[in-house]
Structure 1
Amino acid sequence: MEAKSISSVQNPLVKHILLLKEKSRERKKSGLFVVEGQRELELAQKGGYTLTTFLYCPEIWPDHHLKKILGNSSPEIIQITQPVYEKLAHRGTTEGVLGILKVKEHVLESIRFKNKQPLVLVAEAPEKPGNIGALLRTADAAAIDAVLIANPKSDLYNPNIIRSSVGCVFTNQVGMGSTEEIIHFLRSNQIKIYCAALSASKNYVDCDFTGATALVMGTEATGLTEDWLQTSDQNIIIPMQGEIDSMNVSVSAAILIFEAKRQRGF
């Protein structure tokens, strides 16, 4: 596979990649995003993402590994020098490889359930990339059916989300929409809505999550909006024994998800 080469950090493509990493507006305008690291690139391609450009530093990542990471894809291949790689890479431990990929739309209409009784995680208005990444990582660990993000505040292809999810942004079925759209989607699919909330709540271990279930999480600061609370089939709570009344949203979601999985015999 013949490769072009870039040795200057002033190269236009290098500047474009930096913009893609730093600016959500640039990602949305171009429909492209950047991934670094072999594992993340392999997960993205396995998840059906199109790799348009592959960059590697031969001093770190030997040419003979190309076939392994590219598989049947045929992106533009570019060799980069170590100074260029260090300019582009956020981490020095990403094996000397980066890729430019096409974004997906994540419309609710594209969600398909393989299980008759799907288990879905809904996160309303999550802002912190680290929390979103952790939620996606937990969703992958439990192999749930979908993650739905209502009223998203962060671009799903923010490098911090990709990094904190360790590539699980690519392994989950992710849908995005307004709270109203997601409530309609859940109702249309006869999925029962369980909202994590402090008021009128039932201990989560006393709930039956074996049917089609959506576990709905709000932000740590404000919780869920009234639309969710009014449409909830049952509010649920994780009892606290300390001085505070809430936990990190990703920790709470993990507790609820794995209780649902336990009830389902997994």
Structure 2
Amino acid sequence: MLKRITSSQNKDIKRLLQLQEKSRNRRKDGQFVIEGQRETELALKGNYSPLQFYFVPELIDFHMVMEYSKQNTETPAELIEINKDVYDKIAYRSSTEGIIGVFRSREHKLEYLEFHTPTPLLLIAEAPEKPGNIGAILRTADAAAVDAVIIANPKTDLYNPNIIRSSVGCIFTNQIATGSTSEIVDFLRSQEINIYSAALQASLPYHEIDYKKASAIVMGTEATGLSDEWLENSTQNIIIPMQGEIDSMNVSVAAGIIIFEAKRQRGFKL
């Protein structure tokens, strides 16, 4: 039965806002919020299971929402019609086609990663703090079609709405895992994956490295770089030579430069 909500004080709306705003609630409930048609379709394509859809019938076709509700689930997601006033209170953006979904979250363990090639290319980011940077890294990874993204020592949960928004849904198009630096180093060694750490010390220019074998490109933060554990376990440290006055650049930009050099070596036509 279709439910209708006309007040932002409704308990379901308050719970939705809690999921949007509080990582603790997302972890406790194992659920997260997606806003927008494009992001919803990418999540469904990535086999995420929907639980609820809040929608404004004047902004999105009801039959389309019905189709969304049946995907990746044995029991169709609950459909909740809301008015424009309620939508304006819970939506971050005005251009998201009148749909907000609650989805079941996943665990992102290293052992869940699946590689379909003996020479996977991985992008690893250690302790990224800003959701915008994480989102940009995920967009870079999607553009290059890397085999997986791994977040070491994460500072925020992956289902933070700002990560979903800044990644424009690429959180759902990438294979992602999280873990401590020690766990990830052990995992890479067990998989015989070369570790190329972006660092100033004992480095070679990034374009002099052969990335055609199984490779992990490891990026640190602009402020602190990588921890010593990465530098001690690196196959080779790498650097992007720069001609200006500064010695660092945005992590997603740097990752893109190195990742696309690896893709070029692997036969990707730039």
TM range, normalised to the smaller chain?
A: over 0.9
Distance in 1, Cα, partners of 2:259 & 2:209: 12
1:115-264 residue pairs with structure 2 within 5 A?
115-264=117-266
What runs of 5+ residues in structure 2 fail to find an aligned partner? none
The residue correspondences of 1:38-117 to structure 2 (distance < 5 A) are 38-70=37-69, 72=71, 73=73, 74-117=76-119
Deviation at 1:64, TM superposition (A): 3.0
d(CA) in 2 for partners of 1:67 and 1:120?
A: 37
Q: Secondary structure at the match of 1:105?
A: coil
C-alpha contact 2:69 2:79 (8 A) present in aligned 1: no
Given that 1:38 and 1:69 are in contact with CA atoms closer than 8 Å, whether structure 2 keeps it comes out as: no
The one-letter amino acid of 2:225's match is G
Q: TM-score, normalised by structure 2?
A: 0.96
Distance 1:5 1:83 in 2: 13
Deviation at 1:191, TM superposition (A): 0.2
Unmatched 5+ stretches in structure 1: none
> In 1, Cα distance between the equivalents of 2:157 and 2:123?
18
User: SS in structure 2 opposite 1:193?
Assistant: strand
How far residue 66 of structure 1 moved from its aligned partner, in angstroms, is 2.5
TM-aligned CA distance change 1:77 to 1:67, over 3 Å: closer
Q: How far did residue 193 of structure 1 move?
A: 0.2
Output one character per residue of 1:124-181: Cα deviation in whole Å (capped at 9) or x when no partner.
0000000000000010011000000000001110000000000000110000000000
CA offset digits 1:24-76 (Å, max 9, x no partner): 11111111100010110111111121100011001211323224534535100
Aligned residues: 265
Question: Aligned to 1:43, what secondary structure does the other structure show?
Answer: helix
Whether contact under 8 Å (1:108, 1:176) holds in the other structure is yes
Cα distance in 1 for residues equivalent to 2:46 and 2:142:
12
1:18 has 2:20 as partner? no
Shift of 1:185: 0.6
Which letter maps to 1:264?
R
Identity %: 61
**In structure 1, what is the Cα distance between the partners aligned to 2:63 and 2:166?**
29
**Residues 61-116 of structure 1: per-residue CA shift (max 9 Å, x gap):** 13232245345351001101111111110000000001001111100010000111
Confirm or deny: 8 A CA contact 1:120 1:148 kept in the other structure: yes
2:191 & 2:130 partners in 1: Cα distance?
Answer: 29
Instruction: Give distance in 2, aligned partners of 1:69 and 1:53.
Output: 10
Q: Report what 1:7 is aligned to.
A: 6
Off by >6 Å, runs of 4+ in structure 1 = none
Deviation per CA, 1:172-219: give whole Å up to 9, x if none.
000000000000110010000000000100001110000000000001
Secondary structure of the 1:257 match is helix
Point out the more displaced range, 31-40 or 64-73: 64-73
Cα distance in 2, alignment partners of residues 151 and 26 from structure 1: 20
Question: Aligned partners of 2:192 and 2:247: how far apart in 1?
Answer: 31
2-structure distance, mates of 1:232, 1:262: 22
Q: Secondary structure at the match of 1:52?
A: strand
